[in-house]
Structure 1
Amino acid sequence: MTATVPRLRLGSRPPERNVPANETLVMKLRHLRRRIALQQVFAELFEKRWMEPAIPLALLIGVFVFFSATTPGFASQENLLSTSAELAELSLVCLGMAVVVISGGIDLSVGSMFGLCNMAVILLVTLSGLPVPVAIALGLLIGALLGSVNGSIVAYLKARPFLTTLVTLIIFRGVLNLLDLNYSAQTATVFVTDPVWEWFGTGKVAGIPFSFVTLIGVLIVGHIVLSRSRLGWHITAVGASRRAARHAGIRVERVLLISYVFSGLLCALAAIFYASRLSSASARVGEGMELTVLTAVILGGISLSGGKGTVWRAFIGAATISLLGKGLLLMNVGGEVFQTVLAAVLIVAVGLDLKWGKNRGKAIQKTYVNPTIVEYGELQDTRPGSGTRFEQNDRLVGAEAIGLGQVEGPEDVILDKQGRLYCGTRQGWILRFSGENFEHREIFARIGGHPLGLAFDAEENLVVCVAGMGLYAVTPQGEVRKLTDETNRNWLQLRDDSRLRLADDLDIAPDGKIYFSEATTRFEMADWILDGIEGRPNGRLLCYDPATGKTRTVIRNLVFPNGVCVSHDGKSLLIAQTWLCRILRFHIDGPDKGRLEVFMENFPGYLDNINRASDGAYWVALNGMRSPAYDLAMRMPTFRRRMMKRIPRDEWLYPSMNHGCVVKVSEQGEVLGTWWDPGGTAHATITSMREHGGYLYIGGLENNRIGRIKLDEAEPTASSSGRAVRSVAGSAAN
């Protein structure tokens, strides 16, 4: 069962402050308003790939509902069946145009190709005496040849698609006019009794026109080709960037030729259905069709810039235009009005496409981070001589530097039973130092990502939290294997949180289960600081069971859970919440199993890793210090939102990460001592510490060294690098 964090998790006042009842009510209402993150919902919606066709689909539904309510007979079965036949012909042409647009081109000659193929098929059936199947095959071949003319000029002669297809529009229309001039008497009305011809024109499958059934088949095949085949990937890549596609080894010219041939082929197929349904041809067939088709394609959400789009979007746009035309026709609105509406829709759609394509990333970036209220207790006095429990000292200033200049970003450090020192680096390596003074450095393993939390299991495998990748294990021989990179998804959220974005720290319970934190499910490692500016509960605690190989979410809605440490008795976990400056205790065994409570709060800085000390206490790392200005800013989400929108990112107000300290706390939550480097000269940031052999080893995410100081009160043989072990007496008592 997933535990629920107490209400004081976010935006709550510290319990020691006396607040009037009326102010408490106001604050509760204020916090409730901030928790309803509509801006965050919209940002996550716009980030979804399925959101782009959702708006055209909503428009399609709106058009259908409007005409169904206002126009008698619009939603009747007879009208829908007749509309589906016309829709199939328009949609086939739109699919061809869509493929061309996705490849980065445009085809203005689709109307002329449609009319010319219609005329050609009628002439082949009536004058040549060819069997209908042969005439249909020749009609498809003619469409492919017309498309190849466009494709050859655009691909191999490097002509502009707009001008090329505009010229071929005129040429194809001229040929159609010549044929109509010479054969108008024979093509005005055609009587063909062939069953194949009748099937193409009026045949039905389960009451549905054969043309519409064919359209569904073409849609399915087109979807598979575009999204699952190499050719489809090449078409999308060419549309996104021809230069990049050519550098990737894609034969750009061939891809462009295929896309235009496909457009001509579908125009011919649509013309065959049209010819068999109406059994007539004229020079007026297909006039203005390019405007209708282009409007439908853009209205469906296919960008004119190329590189993205699906066949389903083209179908949605075609259905919208088809229903709009049918509805206006039933309302006795003239064709001139329909053309005017189409032109207006095209202008608006093109404008929105260009504007949204250019500013989509900026809009998401400006709305994705949605700050909320975070309140802290009174800022602790850490000044030297203040006499407080967090009083600054210089106990870390003289720390010995290990691997100076040889490591970059050792976020966590750990030692094995042989006394060898391990750390991760931002290059994705696990380094191992050995020797009397750790003078020997070697790359123990190459994992990738950024290794963060470290822990040894019972078999001396090094278990690692890797930012952006998940949970990994490294054998004593240096072999890397993935343990998990996903967990069960929370279906109450729009965002798919099944993938692990920022696995942070871990510890291993006595039963072998690995508990680890994911600091945030909304931001990647490079943008982890944005989670602090937002201040929302985006993190969670997870558990990986090596026995079953399964990962489950234990606690959701934690504000940047960072350090994780199993207690000395193995019955609970300590969880550091960085931005709330407090530690939670979660009971994993015993009579309080499943209970979550506050262990310590109101630290003077931002917490990072937690580790066990050899004397039954705990070491806590503070990677930065609070300041009055930032505490005030965290109570003002509107200020932080305006800051992100109006000033450059390098001038934002960030949490202070220029120096930190190490705090030692007891099992009862009392501060036992502090170790400071006030100027940050030896260790600018402190994200972890590990006790071993009478020394304390210190790591930092932004440091280029590992620190070591002598602990006078520690046992020389003691170590905190191992797993928590429950005592025999404690186990027997349970």
Structure 2
Amino acid sequence: MYDVGILTKLRYRYVPDHIIGELLTKRWMDNAIPFAALACLIAAIELAGLNFFAIDALFDLARQLAEFGLIALGLAIVMMSGGIDLSVGSVFALSALATLICINVYEQSVFVAFLTAMAVGGLCGAINGVLIGYSRIRAFLTTLVTLIIYRSIYELVFAKFSTAIMATMADSPTWDFLGYGTLFAVPVSFGIALIIAIGWHVVLSRMRFGWRLQAVGGARRSAFNAGIDVSLTIFSAYTASGLLCAVAGFLMAARLGSTGTDTGVGLEVQALTAVVLGGISLGGGRGSVSKASMGAIFVLVLTNGLISLGVTGPTASLILGLVLITAVYLDVRWLKNREKLLRSVYISPAYAQLPDLAKSRSDLGRTFEINDRLRSVEVIGLGEIESPEDVILDDNDDLYCGTRNGDIIRFFAPDYKRQELFAHIGGQPLGLAFDRIGNLIVCVAGMGLYQVAQDRIVSKLTDETNRSLTSIVDDSQLRLADDLDIAPDGRIFFSEATVRYGMHDWPVDALESRGNGRIICYDPTKGTTRTEIRGLIFPNGVCMCEDGQSFIYAETWACRITRYWFDGPKKGKSESVVENLPGYPDNINRASDGGFWLALVGMRSPALDLALRMPGFRRRMARQVARDNWIFPNINTGCIVKFTPQGEVVETLWDLGGINHPMVTSMREHKGCLFIGGISNNRIGRYTLERGRSDWTGMSSYWGRK
């Protein structure tokens, strides 16, 4: 028998390899490279002994960052929309010139000067927005032309007013305060820029405009088809860029009190270097304020460091150009290979060892001998429904099931030939249960826990739980709630099979066989949700025990059934009920004799059992082999198992040929019959039990109703 060393077992059980992949999924990971580059640059400057970070130098750097950071932010907003703005330097210069003309030449108030600068910057940005957003001229060509036009206007106006600007100095305490003042030991201009940056962070990450901006940048046609006004969004992005450049020009005018022929020259290259180096995608649809700010800091520190070292002119421009082309290369390569890298490291198989399968069958005796007892099952709704993963019956003997289309269908007793759409939820309904007053509680894949009231009104109960302190991914959101049961006091316990994968990626979770699942409790009286049990291997079926203080649950890939006490003297304790099943357990429900019915969705295979003890092999398979050729659990043939509360298997039902009921994910006993569901089926089965009780129903067992 294949086995591995103790170090390999420990390494794949306890070393959290999956953290690497989860880190790469985080949006802030795009900042890792620019942050590392900035840290190395700062370290190099310190080692050079330039005394670059003295208090006075830091104050001057903060004032420069206030201006340059706003320009970089404006360009970042445009690039997030899928465009580019090469005119930011010229708009910046024009706004600074307009401010100084108002202050120094016409002796207007600071407020009037600010409004003038904003009008100039906003007009320039709006012109770009109209040409690109509404006239649909290419952004690169448009802003290259407007760069020349705005620069020409600047030079013409500067030539006329330069002498008057230089000859007059504004006598305004407010003007001086904006240029050189501090507030709480922070330069005023830096504080203004910081407030603006925080505001834009909220807009881009929390508000509708930010979502639309990234949607337009990521896929313009798809955004249009989704109902987004693409032209208006692009226009707004360029207008915002112009306004931010205007604020930067206004602050620069306050700091220097003058302007020159070279103001803003080459600034577009510096800003472009900053945003690309910060991680703003050239392809659009990706970016943030923090990325733009980090890139701006890097470029400013690099530029000022070169000046301190005496590197100026063409050499400094050459270095900045090399940094830009390197940043562009890294951005293109990262966009191209990010998903490939993520796929290669995200799947993280754990070491798992199931007991020998042959030994298991010997221990369980003849109860698992294959039979065709389900061959005679009566078929309900053949070809009329898809994916009835779970089924349930009400007090009127009507039958309910979910479908792949997000519907809950009701079949009317007694012959179940007539049906109706009971409710439309949207996501695929999985686990079903009736509460005490007859509301249907539903686990919905990708959506959470929902309720369908007796008047058919659908409402969300919960779609999140408390987040784990040690989790990298946001595990507060429910991804795959799949089965549930209700305690006598109304608390709902439901399983979430995995926090790492969605419904259609269940085979990948099987490949990992890691404790990605959990049991969650929702308390309707308090409206609270909390995680009850963590670290389960694809928990699936949940069934309340008759003591009202415990429930049993299945772990599919671990092939075991466990009992857990949520109340009473044994609260918080677990106890094994059935170990080493020959198949993969799914839903569990009560039987009329006090036992439990269990669905085995598929049977174990020696190949997969062996692969579970070879995590390195599974890792290489996930990286090097096409997904269609991976070793997956077999879910084509399963059966129904009946076991006692003590874990003794007493009966099995098979349809070996898969003629009437090819696979099983759930079953419900009701008045002497067993109603059978299967997520890959297009029918529901009804099997008449040999020793079934014609007076027993699930509703009476749970709530005492006849």
Say yes or no: TM over 0.5: yes
Deviation at 1:266, TM superposition (A): 2.7
| Alignment partner, residue 119 of structure 2 | 141
**Corresponding letter in the other structure for 2:148:** I
By how many angstroms is 1:559 displaced?
0.4
Assess if the C-alpha contact under 8 Å between 1:626 and 1:656 holds in 2.
yes
With 283-292 and 553-562 compared, the bigger mean Cα shift is at 283-292
Pick from 507, 511, 526: which aligns with 1:533? 511
Secondary structure of the residue aligned to 2:370 is coil
Distance 2:462 2:114 in 1: 55
> CA contact under 8 A between 1:454 and 1:464: conserved in structure 2?
yes
- Which of residues 454, 458, 472 in structure 2 aligns to 1:480? 458
CA shift for structure 1 position 342 = 1.8
Find out whether 1:212 has 2:190 as its counterpart: yes
Q: Please say if residues 691 and 721 of structure 1, whose CA atoms lie closer than 8 Å, have aligned partners that are also in contact.
A: no
- Give the match for residue 443 of structure 2: 465
Query: Could you tell me which of 188, 208, 214 is aligned with 1:236?
Result: 214
Cα gap change, 1:630 to 1:124, in 2 (>3 Å): same
Q: Which amino acid aligns with 1:515?
A: F
Match of 2:323 among 321, 345, 355: 345
- Conserved 8 A contact 1:190-1:279: no
The structural deviation recorded for 1:435 is 2.9
Task: Report the Cα offset of residue 92 of structure 1.
Answer: 1.9
Corresponding residue for 1:580? 558
Task: Give distance in 2, aligned partners of 1:359 and 1:442.
Answer: 49
Could you say if the C-alpha distance between residues 249 and 592 of structure 1 is closer, same or farther in structure 2, counting changes exceeding 3 Å? closer
Letter in 2 for 1:280: S
Aligned-pair CA distance for 1:71: 2.9
In structure 2, how many angstroms separate the alpha carbons of the residues matched to 1:489 and 1:645? 30
Structure 1 counterpart of 2:590? 612
| Aligned match of 1:5 | none
Match of 1:80 in 2: 58
Contact 2:361-2:582 at 8 Å conserved across structures = no
Which whole-Å CA distance do the structure 2 matches of 1:249 and 1:463 have between them?
34
| Bigger mean CA offset, 327-336 vs 407-416 | 327-336
Distance 1:189 1:227, change over 3 A: farther
Distance 1:163 1:595 in 2: 69
- The answer on 1:290 being equivalent to 2:268 is yes
172-181 vs 46-55, which deviates more?
172-181
Q: Residue 416 of structure 1 aligns with which residue?
A: 394
> Structure 2 residue aligned with 1:513, among 488, 491, 501?
491
Match of 2:299 in 1: 321
Aligned-residue offset at 1:165: 1.9
What is the match of residue 563 of structure 1? Answer: 541
Q: Which residue of 2 aligns with 1:90?
A: 68
SS at match of 1:316: helix
Which whole-Å deviations, capped at 9, do the CAs of 1:611-643 have from their partners, x for residues lacking one? 222122221111101111121222222222232
Comparing 337-346 with 60-69, greater Cα deviation is found at 60-69
Q: 1:73 to 1:530 in 2, by over 3 A?
A: same
Q: Does 688-697 or 119-128 show the bigger shift?
A: 119-128
Q: Which moved more, 1:29-38 or 1:41-50?
A: 29-38
Please say if residues 485 and 494 of structure 2, whose CA atoms lie closer than 8 Å, have aligned partners that are also in contact: yes
Indicate conservation of the 8 Å contact 2:436/2:703, yes or no.
Answer: no
TM-score, structure 1 as length reference: 0.89
Which has the higher mean CA deviation after the structures are superposed, 375-384 or 563-572? Answer: 375-384
The 3 A distance-change label for structure 1 pair 388 and 88 is same
Question: Which range moves more in the overlay, 226-235 or 539-548?
Answer: 226-235
Superposed CA deviations along residues 515-534 of structure 1, whole A, max 9, x for unmatched, are 22111111111222221111
Q: Deviations over 1:179-225 (max 9, x none)?
A: 56666655567544343443333233233322212212322333344
**For this pair of structures, how many residues does the alignment match?**
703
Q: How far apart are residue 65 of structure 1 and its match?
A: 4.8
Partner SS for 1:280: coil
Label 1:320 to 1:391 Cα distance change in 2 as closer, same or farther (>3 A). same
One-letter amino acid matched to 1:164? T
Q: What is residue 671 of structure 2 aligned with on the other side?
A: 693
Matched, 1:447 2:425: yes
Matched residues in 2 for 1:131 and 1:585: separation? 77
Q: What does residue 275 of structure 1 align with?
A: 253
Q: Displacement, 1:72?
A: 4.7
What is aligned with 1:53?
31
CA contact (8 A) 2:565 2:573 kept: yes
Does the CA contact (< 8 Å) of 1:542 and 1:555 recur in 2?
Answer: yes
Amino acid at match of 1:273: L
Unaligned runs of 5+ in 2: none
Identity, in percent, stands at: 49
Deviation of the 1:298 alpha carbon: 1.2
User: Do the aligned partners of 1:457 and 1:723 also contact (CA within 8 Å) in 2?
Assistant: no
Cα deviation for residue 279 of structure 1 reads: 3.1
Q: Quick one: which amino acid aligns to residue 682 of structure 1?
A: N
> Partners in 1 of 2:180 and 2:402 — Cα distance?
70
Check whether the contact 1:380–1:390 (CA below 8 A) recurs between aligned residues: no
Change (3 A) 1:65 1:564: same
Deviations for 1:95-142, whole angstroms, at most 9, x for unmatched residues?
221222122211112223333444454455445565565445434333
- CA shift in 2, pair 1:388/1:283, >3 Å: same
CA RMSD of aligned residues (A): 2.9
Q: Which moved more, 1:338-347 or 1:247-256?
A: 247-256
CA deviation string 1:564-599 (max 9, x = no partner): 122233343221111111111213345433221221
Q: 1:124-170, CA deviations, whole angstroms, 9 ceiling, x for partnerless residues?
A: 54455655654454343333333334333323443222122223323
SS of 2:675's partner is strand
Paired with 1:563 and 1:595, the residues of 2 have a C-alpha distance of 18
Do the aligned partners of 1:489 and 1:496 also contact (CA within 8 Å) in 2? yes
Structure 1 residue 655 displacement after superposition: 0.9
495-504 or 125-134: which moved more?
125-134
Question: 1:273–1:571: structure 2 CA closer, same or farther, 3 Å change rule?
Answer: closer
Report whether the alignment pairs 1:299 with 2:249.
Answer: no
The range that moved more, 454-463 or 79-88, is 454-463
1:649 is displaced (CA, Å) by 2.3
What does residue 554 of structure 1 align with? 532
Instruction: Label 1:526 to 1:722 Cα distance change in 2 as closer, same or farther (>3 A).
Output: farther
Structure 2 counterpart of 1:41: 19
How far apart, in 2, do the equivalents of 1:354 and 1:397 lie?
Answer: 58
Deviation digits for residues 633-658 of structure 1 (CA, Å, limit 9, x no counterpart): 22222222232333332232211111
Q: Identify if the C-alpha distance between structure 1 residues 136 and 330 changes in structure 2 by more than 3 Å, giving closer, same or farther.
A: same
1:707/1:264 CA distance change after superposition, 3 Å: closer
Equivalent residue runs for 1:114-263 within 5 Å: 114-128=92-106, 133-178=111-156, 191-263=169-241
**Residues 483-511 of structure 1: per-residue CA shift (max 9 Å, x gap):** 22222111111111112221122222333
Q: Is the 8 A contact 1:584 1:598 kept in 2?
A: yes
Q: Which residue is 2:336 aligned to?
A: 358
CA distance in 1, matches of 2:102, 2:696: 94
Inter-CA distance 603–329: structure 2 relative to 1 (3 Å threshold): same
Please give the per-residue CA displacement for 1:679-728, whole angstroms capped at 9, x wherever unaligned: 222211111122222222211111111112222222332334544589xx
> How far does the alpha carbon of each residue in 1:355-387 deviate from its partner, in whole angstroms, 9 at most, with x for none?
222333333233322112221111148999x97
Contact 1:544/1:552 (8 A) holds in 2: yes
**Taking structure 1 as reference, are residues 713 and 277 closer, same or farther at Cα in structure 2, changes over 3 Å only?**
closer
1:624 aligns with 2:602: yes
How far apart, in 1, do the equivalents of 2:532 and 2:229 lie?
50
**Letter paired with 1:490:** S
Q: Partners in 2 of 1:723 and 1:55 — Cα distance? A: 60
Does the 8 Å contact 2:83/2:284 carry over to 1? yes
Name the CA distance, whole Å, in 2 between partners of 1:98 and 1:264: 12
Give the residue type in structure 1 aligned to 2:189: S
| Residues 398-454 of structure 1: CA deviation (Å, up to 9, x unaligned) | 111122222211112222233222222222222222233222222222223122222
Unaligned runs of 5+ in 1: 1-16, 727-734
Does the Cα contact within 8 Å between 2:94 and 2:120 map onto a contact in 1? no
What SS class does the counterpart of residue 50 from structure 1 fall into? Answer: helix
